[in-house]
Amino acid sequence: MSRAPRLGFLPPQLPSLTDQPPEGSDWIHEVKHDGTPMDSRAAPTKGRNEWTKFWQQQSAVSDKLLGQLLEVFVERIKPVLQWHAGDVVLDIGCGPGELARLIKDQVREIHGVDISKSYIGRARERFARDDNVFFHELDPERYTDLSFLPTRKFSLIICHSVIQYYRGPEDLQNLIREVGRIALPGARLLIADIPSGKGRLREAAGLALAGLKGGYLREVVKTFVALMGQTYRRARSSGGLWNLEPKILLRCAQATAAEYEVIEQPLTAYHSRRHLLLRYSRGGW
User: How much is the average pLDDT of 83-98?
Assistant: 96
Predicted TM-score of the model (pTM) = 0.76
Mean pLDDT over the full length of the chain: 79
pLDDT digits (tens, 9 = 90+) for 151-206: 889 999 999 999 888 888 888 989 999 999 999 999 999 999 988 766 667 777 77
pLDDT at 236: 62
The whole-angstrom separation of Cα 121 and Cα 124 is: 5
Amino acid letter, residue 194: I
- Which of residues 226 and 215 earns the better pLDDT score? 215
Note the pLDDT of residue 237: 64
225-251 pLDDT, tens digit per residue, is 766 665 666 666 665 666 667 677 777
In terms of residues, how long is the chain?
Answer: 285
Give the pLDDT confidence score for residue 45 in this predicted structure.
45
Indicate the domain borders of the chain: 48-280
Nearest to 253 by CA among 141, 146, 173: 173
Does 1.10.10.10 match the CATH number of domain 48-280?
no
74 and 102 in contact (C-beta within 8 Å)? yes
Question: Between the CA of residue 235 and those of 122, 168, 196, 245, what are the distances in Å?
Answer: 24, 16, 19, 22
Give the bridge partners for 134, in sequence order: 111
What average pLDDT does the segment 106-115 reach? 97
Distance, in Å, from the CA atom of 141 to the CA atom of 144, rounded to the nearest integer, reads 9
Per 3-state DSSP, the chain is made up of helix, strand and coil in percentages (nearest 5) of 35, 20, 45
Report the distance separating Cα 95 and Cα 260, nearest Å. Answer: 26
